[in-house]
Structure 1
Amino acid sequence: MKIDRTTMELARFAAGTRFIDIPDDVLEFAKSLLLKTLAGMLVGSDHEASRKFAAIVRNRKLPTDATVLGANFKTSLWEAVLLNAFSAHASELEDDKFDRNGGGVSWDITVIPALVSLAEVHRVSGRQLLESIAVGLEVHARTNIYSAQHLALHCLPGAVGPAVAVAHLLKLNADQIANAMGLAMSAPANWEGNFGTDAHFYESAVQSMQGLIAGEMAREGMTGAGQLTAYLTDIVGEGKIDDNLILRDLGKVWEMKNIWVKKYPVCFANHRYIDLLLGLQKEHDFHVNDVDVLELHTSPAEDFCNRPEPTDVGGMQFSFQHALGVALVDRDVNFIHLEPEVLRSEKYQLARKKVKIVQHNDRSHIVNVDPAEIVVKLKDGRTFQGKRQWPVGAPEEPLTSGQVHDLFRKFARNVLVESKVEWTIDYVADLEQKTDIHDLLSELKNKF
């Protein structure tokens, strides 16, 4: 079958791009995303759903090829990718790109888990791993520029970016990479109805594993219909896919640099509001007991986070009321705020009740188009308010490498001994000097 222009151009870009072609700032950003994803896989492995999924795989007694990060065992490569990608998302620490042109969404938690496990098995260099992360994320970002939110779907086709990343690490040629893209095309999308459930994590984990399988199949000469434009048009709708936008400035402008880095283990819809609240608290030094009402002025696109009474971990991660309530109490949102006893805590219950959602139906139905807005009304009559278009960690307010290191410390200390926290930061900072990254995953043992 004939391969279309968009698929072939992306495949040629992937096949032809080498370390020296990638700008230094892109490579440094790839390191930051790798470190953040490692943190997500580690802490996500302690999620109840991750533990259950790991037990299913462990009981199958598969070959011990690759590390299941944070679970302290090895399994077959495919299953290791599936579990690591599941944990990366279960932590809700995925870093997302919300496209400003087409409204689409892409992320790092499908590309990086596939690559680190494959790199462990094939004992590749840190330089090669960084190269494949950058290339895979770039293709993933570009193939998700359009929006499928009118269908309540995200990250469609979610396995194409991971497939390209894997194919690049396996050193496939352009034709083979195009076939890998075709083999990965019909992976599951992420459906909004699954937000806050374990299925949300499973969907993206399957995308990661399908990308790995597609790359390995293409290496063996197997074929797929490399018709990216036709596939997306058939699902999203006629006239909604712009090939020129997907390919614009390919290799010159790196779309993956527009990924937003997450700072809290909750849905990204919460982050701008949390940043606003913490900024106002720092400026005006008010506390939860001073607050009468905390109003969030939201858009219809964010309605999936209007959950005043969450009942489980997934509900807490997708609840405006919970995230802003704990931030109001503790001036932070961390994994301790996702424990079951937090739901039963009177102080957090009272804080949640202070959070009121004011939805403006005239605002956009695409996430993050309209600014986030909060109004804090104190009991003494004072009112503070603010608006924020972007969260801290977006390209407009990027985090430094040092701030990303601090995030890794904040999250990884939940599962790693202190010496391994600093060892990992130093290892990733010096990644391009490593000739064999086999020990990166195997050294990271859950201290519990």
Structure 2
Amino acid sequence: MTVTFEQVAEFILQRPACEMPEDVQEWAALMLLDTLGVLIAAGPMEAGVIARDTAVSLYASNDPSFTARLLFDGRKASLAGAAYAAATQTDNLDAHDGFNPTKGHIGVVVAPALTALAEHCPELTGPEALATVIVGYEIAGRAGLALHATVSDYHTSGAWNALGVAAMAARLRGFTQDQLRQALGIAEYHGPRSQMMREIANPTMLHDGSGWGALVGMSAALLAERGFTGAPAITIEEDRAVPYWDDLGDVWQMCQQYVKPYPICRWAHAAIDGVRLLMQEHALTHEQIETIRINSFHEAACLYRGLPQTTSQAQYSLPFAVAAYAVHGQIGVAQITGDGLSDPDIAALINRIEVSERDRHNARFPDGRWADVQIVTKDGQDFHSGDLNARGGPDTPFSREDIIEKFRAFAAPCIGPDRADRIEKAVLGLADTKSRFSDLAKLLYHPPRADPDLSA
């Protein structure tokens, strides 16, 4: 069966929450929780501070019906500005979920779009909020697949997750099919087709283009709402795109997202996991290691090789990530910011790490992120991990408890355990038909250490 635009529109605008499977709604809640944890932890980082200040300065609104508060900040910007700030902030702590086939990320724009739009949906139910999350993932994911299959360059997530944001806005703001069609066309046309491998070669705060994807997607929807035209979106309506939409509503990409255990580019995760496995199995310390040899796929081998000077470089560096894990037994915000960037033990070990690509790992990309690791100790022992795929994806998923524990680890240090606990309970309770998104929203807009007024 070939899915028509009208059927895509029906899914976006009219598919009720009750017709979305319970396990899909559960996964939507978990991904929302995971993204909020990353967003919270990213708040004090320089990129997030700059993004929020810029949204207030450049992307504000003098119309209250088009404003939204900045998450864990409280200042106001336009709907597009609020989505931009939160997505840019999240994108700069590379711990948010991703979708292997698109080589990119969706939740990074979905959570910011939902929280901005919900400011003007006071009666939004928990199930409808989750349905909107699902729409964002399903539309962005398929648009990403279609784009990758029909163009020659490798574009960042912002190029296609803009369509997911536009679809979410269309659903929550009650668009007609024609308004939706125009919004998707505008979002695709102006979506930031930034070149991902340029960022890999020179890591900066640009990251995966998702801040601009959120800004474009929200702006596109509001333009279409006022009558601006922009259809059609060729990633949906062109003949070559058809195969990526035929299973909409039957196969749920929502449940195929991976969860990151480390705030590092996903391409480095299998190598980190290999070092983790060997060090745990053989009770090794970093002082015992003479060399680490890593074989992975081409894109992983292209990650930053030098000693990082910035957080962005650290998050896109495979040798740094491996060395940081070997030295500290973990990789968190502390390892990729501040004094963590000048750790002498990490610097010394980086010089003894070799990275190469292998055809068998290349053949498995992008469906998997594979590597194998060899550790040779100073006393001549030689350990091999065998081929490993990065943990947390559909083949080796994290449990519900794992995801919740990750949220706590990221959120509690910034906002306190009590507020983190209340956010956790509110998010995980959204599937309850009696729940209201406003119960969660009360916890999301005050600055990190403020005590939210739950009566507001």
1:71 maps to: 73
Cα deviation code 1:186-229 (max 9, x no counterpart): 2102422124211225x211111221122223333433212424
Cα deviation code 1:50-85 (max 9, x no counterpart): 212323344567558423223343333221111011
2:193 maps to: 189
Q: In structure 2, how many angstroms separate the alpha carbons of the residues matched to 1:62 and 1:164?
A: 22
**Aligned in 2, Cα 1:8/1:272: closer, same or farther, shift over 3 Å?**
farther
**Aligned in 2, Cα 1:133/1:230: closer, same or farther, shift over 3 Å?**
closer
Query: In the alignment, is the contact (CA less than 8 A) between 1:85 and 1:110 conserved in 2?
Result: yes
The answer to which of 291-300 and 139-148 deviates more is 139-148
Match of 2:336 among 335, 338, 351: 338
1:298 maps to: 296
Match of 1:56 among 48, 54, 57: 54
State the AA in 2 paired with 1:176.
Answer: Q
Q: In structure 1, how many angstroms separate the alpha carbons of the residues matched to 2:205 and 2:74?
A: 22
Query: In the alignment, is the contact (CA less than 8 A) between 2:31 and 2:107 conserved in 1?
Result: yes
Matched, 1:98 2:100: yes
Secondary structure of the residue aligned to 1:175 is helix
Runs of 5+ in structure 1 lacking a partner?
234-240
> Shift of residue 44 of structure 1?
1.7
Match of 2:179 among 167, 171, 176: 176
1:261-276 paired onto structure 2 within 5 Å: 261-276=259-274
State the AA in 2 paired with 1:88.
Answer: T
**Aligned in 2, Cα 1:286/1:121: closer, same or farther, shift over 3 Å?**
same
Query: In the alignment, is the contact (CA less than 8 A) between 1:70 and 1:415 conserved in 2?
Result: no
> Shift of residue 367 of structure 1?
4.1
State the AA in 2 paired with 1:163.
Answer: A
State the AA in 1 paired with 2:253.
Answer: E
2:111 maps to: 112
2:130 maps to: 130
Task: Please report the TM-score for the alignment, with normalisation by the length of structure 2.
Answer: 0.87
Q: In structure 1, how many angstroms separate the alpha carbons of the residues matched to 2:21 and 2:387?
A: 30
> Shift of residue 41 of structure 1?
1.6
Query: In the alignment, is the contact (CA less than 8 A) between 1:62 and 1:75 conserved in 2?
Result: yes
2:84 maps to: 82
Q: In structure 2, how many angstroms separate the alpha carbons of the residues matched to 1:34 and 1:436?
A: 12
Query: In the alignment, is the contact (CA less than 8 A) between 2:3 and 2:246 conserved in 1?
Result: no
Query: In the alignment, is the contact (CA less than 8 A) between 2:96 and 2:105 conserved in 1?
Result: no
Query: In the alignment, is the contact (CA less than 8 A) between 1:308 and 1:320 conserved in 2?
Result: no
Secondary structure of the residue aligned to 1:96 is coil
Cα deviation code 1:364-392 (max 9, x no counterpart): 38545563111111122222222445322
> Shift of residue 304 of structure 1?
3.2
1:237 maps to: none
1:349 maps to: 347
For the aligned residue pairs, the C-alpha RMSD in angstroms reads 2.6
Percentage identity across paired residues of the two chains: 23
Q: In structure 2, how many angstroms separate the alpha carbons of the residues matched to 1:228 and 1:367?
A: 23
Query: In the alignment, is the contact (CA less than 8 A) between 1:67 and 1:75 conserved in 2?
Result: yes
Match of 2:12 among 11, 14, 21: 14
> Shift of residue 31 of structure 1?
0.7
**Aligned in 2, Cα 1:151/1:407: closer, same or farther, shift over 3 Å?**
same
Task: Please report the TM-score for the alignment, with normalisation by the length of structure 1.
Answer: 0.89
Q: In structure 2, how many angstroms separate the alpha carbons of the residues matched to 1:357 and 1:425?
A: 39
Q: In structure 1, how many angstroms separate the alpha carbons of the residues matched to 2:443 and 2:335?
A: 29
State the AA in 1 paired with 2:426.
Answer: Y
> Shift of residue 159 of structure 1?
0.9
Q: In structure 1, how many angstroms separate the alpha carbons of the residues matched to 2:347 and 2:130?
A: 44
Aligned residues: 433
Query: In the alignment, is the contact (CA less than 8 A) between 2:277 and 2:385 conserved in 1?
Result: no
Match of 1:43 among 5, 21, 41: 41
The answer to which of 403-412 and 76-85 deviates more is 76-85
Secondary structure of the residue aligned to 2:230 is coil
Q: In structure 2, how many angstroms separate the alpha carbons of the residues matched to 1:317 and 1:164?
A: 30
Query: In the alignment, is the contact (CA less than 8 A) between 1:132 and 1:168 conserved in 2?
Result: yes
Q: In structure 2, how many angstroms separate the alpha carbons of the residues matched to 1:362 and 1:425?
A: 41
1:381 maps to: 380
Query: In the alignment, is the contact (CA less than 8 A) between 2:301 and 2:355 conserved in 1?
Result: no
Query: In the alignment, is the contact (CA less than 8 A) between 1:299 and 1:363 conserved in 2?
Result: yes
**Aligned in 2, Cα 1:121/1:415: closer, same or farther, shift over 3 Å?**
farther
